[in-house]
C-alpha cells in the first residue's frame, strides 16, 4: 500500500509480553489479506520484556524509532513503543493519532484470524450506515464461544444472575441470562449491547464521538464502557457470526485456562485486582445513583468480596 493512499481499515494490536502469539496473529492477518484489502496495521507495545519489539523489527525490518513504518515484501506494519505499561485503554489510545482509516479494528495479539474474517466484517459494517461497531464470532481454542463477544450490560441484577449461576440454570431466559445474552441465537447476526475488545471493529467517527477508550480503566471493563458510550450516542452494535477468529484468552493476564502462555503469580494477582476494579468503576459511573444507599453499599461489598475470592483462588492454585 502506498503511503499516499488512505487505507480502508486501520488495525490496532496492543501487545504486552506475548511475542510468539503476536507474530502468529500478524501472520494470520497477512495470510487473510488480499490485494484488494487496503489496510494499515499498527502494533502498539506496552513496554514488553519478552523481546516482542525486537521480534517485530526483525521480521518486518524496522529501524528503532517510536513510530516505525516498515515495508518488507509487500507487508507493512507500524510499530509504536510505549515506554511503560499504559494499560489497555491508554495503550490503544496511543495509536489513534496514527490511524488513517474511516474504520478501526482493535484486535488482541492472542488471536488468530481465519477465513477472511476481517474483510468480510468490514464489508458488513460498511453496508449498514447506522452500525457503529461490530464483532465477529470469537471462539476459544476448544470451539466454545467466548462469552465476552456476546453480552448484555452488567447491571447489578445481570451481574448477580451471572455470578450466582442463575444465568446457567436458565440460559434461555432473557430475565436471568441477560448478561450472557445466551437467550439469543448465536448462529444468526443480530444487535447486541456489548462486544469484546479482542475483536472490536468501529467506525472512526463513532470512536471520535465517545473520545475513544476511557482512561479510568487500566485493564478489563473498558470494552463494556466503550459499548455503553456508543449506545448513548445512538450507534448500533452487532454480533456477526458469519466469520470467526480464535482467541487464546488470558494469555497476558493468566486469568483463564485458555491462555497459550503462562504468566507469573504476581501478574495474575494484579490482573484480578484490575478486573474487579473495572466492575467497581463501571457500577459507580452508571448505576450507583440509581439505588438506595443501603443497596449501593451492599453491591460495593459484593464486588469487594469477589476480589478477595478471586485472589484466594489464585493463591490456592
The residues spanned by each domain of the chain are 9-150+186-250
Instruction: Please tell me the pTM assigned to this model.
Output: 0.86
- Residue in 13, 12, 10 with CA at minimum distance from that of residue 21: 13
The whole-number pLDDT of residue 298 equals 85
pLDDT in tens, 231-284: 999 999 999 999 999 999 865 554 445 555 565 657 666 666 767 778 888 888
* CA 206 to chain CA mean position, Å: 17
Residue segments in the chain with a per-residue pLDDT below the cut of 70: 1-4, 61-75, 250-265, 267-272, 274, 306-312, 314, 316-317
**Under CATH, to which class is 9-150+186-250 assigned?**
alpha beta
d(CA 51, CA 46): 12
d(CA 177, CA 183): 7
Pairing mode, strands 103-107 and 199-203: antiparallel
* C-alpha cell at position 33: 489479506
Beta bridge partners of 104: 10, 202
Q: Which residue has the cell 485486582?
A: 273
Amino acid at each position: 500500500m502506498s503511503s499516499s493512499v488512505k487505507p480502508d481499515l486501520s488495525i490496532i494490536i496492543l501487545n504486552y509480553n506475548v511475542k510468539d502469539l503476536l507474530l502468529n496473529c500478524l501472520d494470520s492477518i497477512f495470510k487473510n489479506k488480499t490485494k484488494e484489502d487496503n489496510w494499515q496495521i499498527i502494533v502498539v507495545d506496552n513496554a514488553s520484556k519478552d523481546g516482542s519489539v525486537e521480534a517485530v523489527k526483525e521480521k518486518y525490518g524496522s529501524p528503532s524509532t517510536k513510530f516505525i513504518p516498515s515495508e518488507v515484501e509487500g507487508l507493512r506494519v507500524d510499530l509504536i513503543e510505549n515506554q511503560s505499561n499504559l494499560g489497555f485503554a491508554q495503550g490503544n489510545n496511543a495509536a489513534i493519532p496514527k490511524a488513517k482509516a474511516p474504520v478501526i479494528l482493535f484486535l488482541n495479539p492472542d488471536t488468530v484470524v481465519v477465513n477472511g474474517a476481517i474483510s468480510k466484517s468490514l464489508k458488513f459494517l460498511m453496508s449498514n450506515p447506522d452500525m457503529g461497531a461490530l464483532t465477529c464470532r470469537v471462539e476459544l481454542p476448544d470451539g466454545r464461544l467466548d462469552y465476552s463477544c456476546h453480552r448484555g450490560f452488567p447491571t447489578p441484577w445481570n451481574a448477580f444472575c451471572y455470578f450466582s449461576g442463575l444465568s446457567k440454570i436458565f440460559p434461555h431466559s432473557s430475565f436471568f441470562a441477560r448478561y450472557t445474552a445466551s437467550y439469543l441465537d448465536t448462529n444468526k447476526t443480530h444487535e447486541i449491547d456489548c462486544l469484546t475488545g479482542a475483536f472490536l471493529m468501529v467506525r472512526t467517527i463513532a470512536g471520535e464521538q465517545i473520545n475513544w477508550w476511557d482512561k479510568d480503566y487500566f485493564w478489563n471493563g473498558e470494552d463494556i464502557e466503550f459499548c455503553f458510550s456508543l449506545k448513548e450516542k445512538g450507534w448500533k452494535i452487532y454480533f456477526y457470526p458469519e466469520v470467526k477468529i480464535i482467541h487464546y484468552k488470558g494469555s497476558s493476564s493468566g486469568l483463564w485456562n485458555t491462555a497459550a502462555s503462562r504468566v507469573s503469580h504476581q501478574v495474575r494477582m494484579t490482573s484480578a485486582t484490575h478486573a474487579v476494579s473495572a466492575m467497581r468503576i463501571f457500577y459507580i459511573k452508571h448505576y450507583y445513583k440509581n439505588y438506595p444507599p443501603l443497596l449501593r453499599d451492599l453491591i460495593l461489598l459484593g464486588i469487594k468480596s469477589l476480589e478477595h475470592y478471586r485472589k484466594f483462588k489464585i493463591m490456592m492454585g
